[in-house]
Structure 1
């Protein structure tokens, strides 16, 4: 990552907290007994100087993002110039598969790829498949399709397709690769902005905030994305609902219970105004899914009564064909056990719950919940 790119991340996260450059310097000085100046922070943000490893750790701590997010080499490179050889092909897959993906991309450029309507149908299928398939299956398919769509970015509509597909791809990463997920979420937001489609811009940011907040990782950036989504449009939508809940999760883990509860109430109003969906899709929020989201939030806030009521309501409507989401509810129970003081019982329940789910159904957020419970 260039020093300019790091500076942009620092500026975004600082502004999300309402801090001045001087305040950020003071926070680092107080936490790490340093003598950092406002001018030095300004230099970082303007790309005049790059923070060294020590200050990357300091920034990571006070801004509440993983160090690797600040160090990620491809976080801000232009998608149209970078290509997936710097993201998917070399970082996440074997050399032979990388070669295959490159061939797919060039073939699409030479011969043409799916039409915009066909891409919309693909995305609809992804939304349904996300609910039942495991992260590994989705990631392999999305990597292939990203290589194709990258060669078709000739108009606003295709940037919208790319943004939603990139967001989906980012959700498949587990915590050890969370810096990659954040980098992809950032690029998805940029791609959405190029589409100039308000719903896409809100949805990509809201879905990213929900993933990070639910998983309890990258909370600083989850808040940034949520605030951006809410600033773009306050029109009720699945994207706005995701953003509101994502920020509520982040604040609950940061100890701001009052604001988290206020956001939970706001999320219910957004849900009621946008209308509950009967679709089984990642692009829709049915009653059972909303209650599942509220179950985790209540568990994190230590409100066992609300958590249990939300879980029971979710289980009444949860389709039997979606065992992964039943596992999520059981993990919320494990979290409540741990927070109530029964750490051994909570850990055992979480492990048994996850072991009972076929490995091919696993996803990154379940693994992150396990880490939160065992921590």
Structure 2
């Protein structure tokens, strides 16, 4: 039995919850969960989430499960160092944790995902020991979304986004609940990954509140990309227009660099990908021009996004060979440590479009 499986079994038995009860509340069979507890199957984040939901009555159980889910990707030595450093320096105030999470949002825009993931995972392990106030749950929810965006594949990311949604709900902060769902939705939909899940997150965000916010803006843009992925051009354009109306009210300052922000250049990047997907050259070229004009020079990874959008538009217009060559040159020009899962998925979309031309 591995450590995580053992922790799940101990938490369940101490709470007096049966395997059948957890199975009834999740998509997993009791037999599969028994194998997870025995170490014969991997305790994926979504399995951990199923236990966290079933054992949600005791805060200590939620904290230990979140810790267990976070430990895996990080070296044990780094976790020990982070834990002792935190113990020696004290818990830190809620404001300090909020600022640390905000810094990760800024760092995400400029440094490689692998480096960021290790730093963020260490802080999540420390943070989970202090999930005893709504503000700390809110900070954890935002951090978990960023962590999900550093993972290697959409399935793994969805597991973290689901945990983030649960954490956001524990915060009792409507703005955080909407933002977490909207941000997860646009992350998946922009990548063209797991469109039904992206739509579910977007619909949840929009259903929670009709107030204009960055969370609602992200959710509306996610809907536009979902419609585009399904070939419903009219609905995609209508969702984009709805998102633009919200953007006019809540746009982030153009100098703000953060994964939590949507300034003009980032909105143009969302729209550039949308209209490249739709094969609509006029609005696509305008969005690409706007993104290049407004984007801060330090954000070279996002410049590559626009280059891949141009390649996708070329392929959609019938020049599959030229579009694919353009995309591969743009990919090769970006240093490997600056690449991201999202860029890789966009490149694969160009490859699929090129094959169909």
TM above 0.5: yes
Check conservation: 1:76, 1:187, Cα contact below 8 A: no
Partner of 1:225: 201
- Which has the higher relative contact order, 1 or 2, with Cα contacts under 8 A spaced 6 or more apart? 1
The answer to whether the aligner puts 1:357 opposite 2:340 as a matched pair is no
Tell me, in whole angstroms, the C-alpha distance in 2 between the residues paired with 1:106 and 1:227: 41
Check conservation: 1:102, 1:147, Cα contact below 8 A: no
The answer to whether the aligner puts 1:165 opposite 2:143 as a matched pair is yes
Partner of 1:313: 290
Residue 48 (structure 1) shift: 8.8
Partner of 1:292: 269
Tell me, in whole angstroms, the C-alpha distance in 2 between the residues paired with 1:340 and 1:109: 58
**Corresponding residue SS for 1:327:** helix
Residue 301 (structure 1) shift: 1.1
The answer to whether the aligner puts 1:190 opposite 2:172 as a matched pair is no
Mind listing any 5+ residue stretches in structure 1 that lack a counterpart?
11-43, 51-67
Partner of 1:135: 113
TM-score (norm 2): 0.81
Q: Which moved more, 1:108-117 or 1:300-309?
A: 108-117
Partner of 1:339: 316
Check conservation: 1:174, 1:367, Cα contact below 8 A: no
Q: Which moved more, 1:190-199 or 1:127-136?
A: 127-136
Check conservation: 1:76, 1:186, Cα contact below 8 A: no
**Corresponding residue SS for 2:47:** coil
Residue 275 (structure 1) shift: 3.7
Count of residue pairs brought into register by the alignment? 317
Residue 350 (structure 1) shift: 1.2
Q: Deviations over 1:229-282 (max 9, x none)?
A: 111112111111111111211221112222111110011001012244221221
TM-score (norm 1): 0.77
Check conservation: 2:151, 2:157, Cα contact below 8 A: yes
The answer to whether the aligner puts 1:84 opposite 2:67 as a matched pair is yes
Q: CA RMSD in A?
A: 2.7
Question: Of 145, 149, 156, which aligns to 1:180?
Answer: 156
Tell me, in whole angstroms, the C-alpha distance in 2 between the residues paired with 1:158 and 1:345: 50
Check conservation: 1:109, 1:151, Cα contact below 8 A: no
**Corresponding residue SS for 2:48:** coil
Tell me, in whole angstroms, the C-alpha distance in 2 between the residues paired with 1:106 and 1:164: 24
Mind listing any 5+ residue stretches in structure 2 that lack a counterpart?
1-7, 9-18, 33-41, 53-61, 353-357
Partner of 1:29: none
**Corresponding residue SS for 2:50:** coil
Partner of 2:47: 73
The answer to whether the aligner puts 1:214 opposite 2:190 as a matched pair is yes
- Note closer, same or farther for the CA distance 1:71–1:326 as it changes in structure 2 (3 Å cut): closer
Q: Which moved more, 1:185-194 or 1:74-83?
A: 74-83
